[in-house]
Amino acid sequence: MLRGQVSFEEESQKQPAVGHWKPLMPSKGNKEELETGCQDAGGVGETQSTEQLNVSRLRSSSVEIREKGSEFLKDELHKAQKELKLKDKECERLSKVREQLEQELEELTASLFEEAHKMVREANTKQAAAEKQLREARGKIDMLQAEVTALKTLVITSTPSSPNRELHPQLQSPSKAGFRKGHGRNKSTSSAMVSAARQNVSPEPVTRECREVDSILFAEFEAWKESPTLDKSCSFLDRIYREDIGPCLDFTKQELSELVRVAVEQNTLTIEPVASQTLPVVKVAAEECGGPKKCALSGLPRTCKHRIMLGDSGNYYYISPSCRARITAVCNFFTYIRYIQQGLVRQDVELMYWEVMRLRREMSLAKLGFYPSEM
């Protein structure tokens, strides 16, 4: 019994603990806690969905911005390409205009040079004809002056006491007078006139110059004309250097001759006339530069009417007329071949060849000592 009571008491003591169990229905406070928890859970979900929505919007907006930016850049690129094409067309048009102007300028320059050469040749021809006429007129004047002098001599020697029967044919015997018909010129007068004419007038036979193209020289010139150059290693210029330029510029003063040759090749030589009052303007010894009475190239006493300067050295060298003629002939040759090299001579190849041969003949005559009197 005691055991039963004890167990019953123990069970009865344990039953009040059942009153502390939580009820199945939540209380008011629990409701609020549950609603707050639900709200917190719902807020977090809504925040996450809002952030995802914002991210998706940002992504879509960035894609749109990229697409619009790419379209804008494409439009700008197309515009720039169109502008470049227009500018390229304008550059091509301007380059064509420039090429046309340059070609017209070259043609005009060539025609002007050709016309200038033609005028120079015509002037030289007219000058030669005028000089020939002048020589003939002087010969006639000298002949007439000799005849007048002879007639005066005969008139003076004829006096009333001893008349000259040649001047008065009526005083001659009829037998001698019968051979004379009309007016007879005194024999002494005729002989004096003829002798004067022979002394003063040298006969100039009228000859027509004949010429024939040398096949070797013409072939060398044609080969040089295909690619004109001033390099003397080519066969055309090598021959002219050996046969004409070298001998023409070979003076007694070898060092100065070499300097003159280099200056002529480089087109830096200056020739100017010398006034009678001009004194030598030199920086070296006077015997090297010559003087108005001594040629600096030949070293001989000559009347020097011209002087040369090599480049910008400021040193003047007095030269004789013969040396000037030789230097001038070589300079004329180099000037003409430079014109050909620059394309300023628009002539047939054969005409250019004969002009070169004429210039070579001038160099040959100059090196032999022939030069015009006006030198």
Q: For tokens 């001759």, name the residue.
A: 257
Higher pLDDT, 285 or 361: 361
pLDDT, tens digit, for every residue of 179-212? 344 334 343 333 434 444 444 444 445 467 788 9
pLDDT, tens digit, for every residue of 334-349? 999 999 998 888 889 9
Higher pLDDT, 41 or 143: 143
Mean predicted lDDT score pLDDT of the chain? 77
Q: What is the pTM of this model?
A: 0.45
Please say whether the beta carbons of 274 and 309 come within 8 A: no
- To the nearest 10 degrees (0 to 180), the angle between helices 28-157 and 187-200 is 160
Please say whether the beta carbons of 297 and 252 come within 8 A: yes
- Asked if pLDDT for residue 136 goes beyond 60, the answer is yes
CB-based burial of residue 250 (10 Å sphere; 0-12 exposed, 13-18 middle, 19+ buried)? middle
pLDDT-derived band at 366 (thresholds 50, 70, 90) equals: very high
Please say whether the beta carbons of 289 and 315 come within 8 A: yes
pLDDT of residue 182: 38
Report the alpha-carbon distance of residue 256 to residue 262 in Å, rounded.
10
Three-class SS state of 195: helix
pLDDT, tens digit, for every residue of 40-84? 555 556 777 787 777 777 877 888 888 888 888 989 999 999 999
Sorted by where each begins, the domain ranges of the chain are: 55-158, 227-275+287-368
DSSP assignment, residue 245? Answer: I
